[in-house]
């Protein structure tokens, strides 16, 4: 029996269907529609957000406090190519990033009303991935994540990357992924009475609009079910048992297993399309997010050598380092000296690039900020006792780590994946029903 909280997802899809069925229907503006969708998700605590530009595309860093900074979830939102944004999905991917203990980069792409027909979203997804690699992030430290057509992107961007000779990410984490652009799944009929919105004709119209008159739904670069998936990293899929796109997930799981991929499919009984959007409110969504994270990534599970982002209550001692959430992504940019820093704490963990020297007054307890003139960059603020002599300086150095977590361990193109150690054998291929 679905929880009362998860019923909000169903009510959201019913409202979307009723609005579209009205003869005098005028679609709401995109921002209002995205706000309504995003309101399903509770705000995750202890997560900061920073809008940025990723290779010319709108993007947002999602940074849980104390998260490992050299592991990145590259997240691609859903919305049927006509809705969704980095704003509608920031909280849901914030919950996922927090559960995995790493940062996420949520990237946008043009939608159909903006000229975003095929292959534009794939082009822009590839550009975001290239940008992330250019910042020095190792491909084995990146996992793609996406819901609905964002899940489709998480596969097709990999196919494009492979065709262009780019190294592939460590894994793909998919929520109710679209995989069958021909819309042939039997679950469109079997679940037509439980899914209030995504009926076959509606989804087929979306896919035709996206591909255009000359588009081929069997094109291997556009359809994961007709592509050679060999060589891609592990794939973890979640899907609702009551949604009409159930067979999209099943078919993708089967196709990936035939290609030799390490793949796992979890079916959540009674759940609908992208039910994870109720994270922080519905227990089923929270369970799905925890499961997708692969492990809880508590601080005790992360090696002490991993560089993590600071929190406002984090104590600062001699040689303490704070790593920026801005470019370059894999560099530490602040260090504290000298030894007389007892009692000092960060009061603002916002991204800084670069940091300038700050010198406290020796006569009273003060709060000061670094002077940073770079557009869009926020500043570090620090408090210290009057007796301290503290200097914050720009520092360029590698933030290396040893050990971390990921959905499954598997060999990648550059040797063993270092995304996440796991006890699950790399040969595991499984399908399960969540209860």
Same domain for 189 and 83:
yes
Burial (CB count within 10 angstroms: exposed 0-12, middle 13-18, buried 19+), residue 402: exposed
Query: By three-state DSSP, how is residue 419 classified?
Result: coil
Q: Does some domain include residue 407?
A: no
| 278 lies in some domain | yes
Q: How many domains does the chain contain in total?
A: 2
Residue 63 shares a structural domain with residue 199? yes
Report the relative pairing of strands 381-384 and 345-348 from DSSP bridges.
antiparallel
DSSP code string of 304-345: TTS-B---TT-B--TT-EEE-SSSSTTEEEEEEESS--TT-E
Let me know: does 368 contact 358? Beta carbons within 8 Å: yes
Cα 142–Cα 137–Cα 70 angle in degrees, nearest 5? 75
Q: Within this chain, do residues 351 and 211 fall inside the same structural domain, yes or no?
A: no
327 and 243 in one domain?
A: no
Structural domain contains residue 59: yes
Strands (DSSP E) along 371-419, which ranges? 381-384, 391-398, 411-412, 415-416
**CA neighbours within 13 Å on the CB side: how many for 232?**
32
Q: Are residues 337 and 200 in the same domain?
A: no
| Alpha helices in 110-219, H assignment, sequence order | 120-134, 149-163, 187-190, 200-211
Q: Are residues 210 and 345 in the same domain?
A: no
Q: Against a cut of 0.85, is the pTM above it?
A: no
Q: Which tokens belong to 29?
A: 């503006």
Task: Note whether residue 315 is domain-resident.
Answer: no
Two tokens at 374? 């770079």
Q: What does DSSP say about strands 263-268 and 235-240: parallel, antiparallel, or unpaired?
A: parallel
352 and 390 share a domain? yes
Do 196 and 257 fall within a single domain?
yes
Three-point CA angle 416, 418, 421, nearest 5°? 100
Residue 369's domain comprises: 321-398
Same domain, yes or no: 287 and 186 = yes
Q: Kindly state whether residue 45 falls inside one of the protein's structural domains.
A: yes
> Is 28 strand, coil or helix?
coil
* Cβ–Cβ < 8 Å for 224, 254: no
Taking only the tens of pLDDT, the chain with its 435 residues reads: 899 999 999 999 999 888 877 656 565 566 766 777 889 999 999 999 999 999 899 999 999 999 988 899 999 999 999 999 999 999 999 999 999 999 999 999 999 999 999 999 999 999 999 999 999 999 999 999 999 999 999 999 999 999 999 999 999 999 999 999 999 999 999 999 999 999 999 999 999 999 999 999 999 999 999 999 999 999 999 999 999 999 999 999 999 999 999 999 999 999 999 999 999 999 999 999 999 997 333 232 222 234 444 333 333 333 333 333 322 223 323 333 333 333 333 332 223 222 222 233 232 222 223 222 222 333 232 332 333 332 332 222 222 222 222 222 222 233 323 333 232 333 345 567 765
Same domain? For 332 and 265 the reply is no
- What's the CA angle centered on 111, arms 107 and 112, to 5 degrees? 165
Cα radius of gyration rounded to whole Å, the chain: 23
In-domain check, residue 313: no
What torsion, rounded to 10 degrees, do the Cα atoms 248, 254, 258, 261 define? 80
Token couple for 320: 């303490």
- Say whether both 289 and 332 belong to one domain: no
Q: Report the CATH number that the domain containing residue 233 is assigned in CATH.
A: 3.40.50.1820
Q: How many CB atoms lie within 10 A of CB 179?
A: 26
Cα gap 142→423, rounded to integer Å: 20
Q: Looking at the structure, do residues 13 and 116 belong to the same domain, yes or no?
A: yes
* Range list of β-strands (E), 176-310: 235-240, 263-268
Strand boundaries in 55-96, DSSP class E: 57-64, 68-76
Q: Is residue 432 part of a domain?
A: no
Q: Is residue 337 part of a domain?
A: yes
- Residues belonging to the active site: 148, 243, 273
């Amino acid at each position: 029996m679905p929880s009362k909280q998860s019923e909000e997802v169903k009510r959201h899809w019913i409202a979307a269907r009723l609005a579209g069925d009205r003869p005098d229907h005028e679609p709401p503006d995109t921002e209002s529609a995205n706000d309504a969708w995003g309101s399903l998700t509770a705000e995750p605590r202890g997560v900061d957000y920073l809008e940025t530009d990723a290779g010319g595309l709108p993007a947002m860093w999602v940074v849980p406090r104390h998260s490992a900074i050299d592991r990145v979830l590259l997240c691609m939102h859903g919305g049927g190519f006509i809705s969704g944004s980095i704003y509608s999905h920031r909280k849901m991917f914030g919950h996922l990033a927090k559960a995995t203990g790493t940062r996420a980069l949520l990237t946008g792409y043009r939608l159909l009303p903006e000229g975003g027909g095929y292959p534009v979203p794939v082009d822009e997804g590839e550009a975001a991935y290239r940008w992330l690699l250019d910042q020095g992030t190792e491909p084995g430290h990146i996992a793609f994540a996406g819901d609905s057509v964002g899940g489709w992107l998480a596969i097709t961007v990999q196919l494009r990357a492979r065709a262009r000779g780019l190294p592939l990410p460590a894994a793909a984490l998919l929520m109710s992924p679209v995989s069958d652009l021909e819309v042939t799944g039997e679950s469109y009929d079997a679940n037509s009475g439980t899914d209030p919105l995504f009926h076959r004709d509606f989804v087929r119209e979306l896919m035709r609009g996206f591909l255009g008159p000359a588009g081929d739904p069997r094109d291997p670069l556009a359809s994961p079910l007709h592509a050679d998936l060999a060589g891609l990293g592990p794939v973890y899929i979640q899907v609702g048992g009551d949604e009409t796109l159930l067979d999209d997930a099943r078919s993708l799981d089967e196709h990936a297993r035939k290609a030799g991929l390490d793949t796992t499919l979890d079916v959540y009984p009674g759940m609908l399309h992208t039910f994870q959007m109720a994270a922080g409110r519905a227990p089923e969504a929270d369970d799905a997010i925890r499961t997708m994270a692969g492990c809880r990534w508590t601080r005790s599970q992360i090696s002490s050598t991993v560089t993590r982002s600071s929190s406002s209550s984090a104590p600062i001692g001699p040689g303490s380092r704070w790593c920026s959430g801005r470019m370059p992504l894999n560099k530490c940019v602040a260090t504290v000296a000298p030894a007389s820093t007892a009692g000092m704490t960060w009061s603002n963990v916002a991204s800084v690039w670069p940091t300038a020297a700050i010198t406290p007054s020796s006569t009273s307890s003060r709060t000061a900020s670094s002077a940073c003139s770079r557009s869009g960059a926020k500043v570090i603020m620090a408090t210290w006792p009057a007796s301290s002599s503290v200097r914050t300086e720009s520092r360029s150095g590698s933030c290396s780590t040893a050990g971390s977590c990921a959905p499954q361990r598997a060999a990648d193109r550059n040797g063993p994946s270092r995304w996440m150690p796991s006890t699950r054998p790399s040969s595991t291929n499984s399908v399960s029903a969540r209860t």
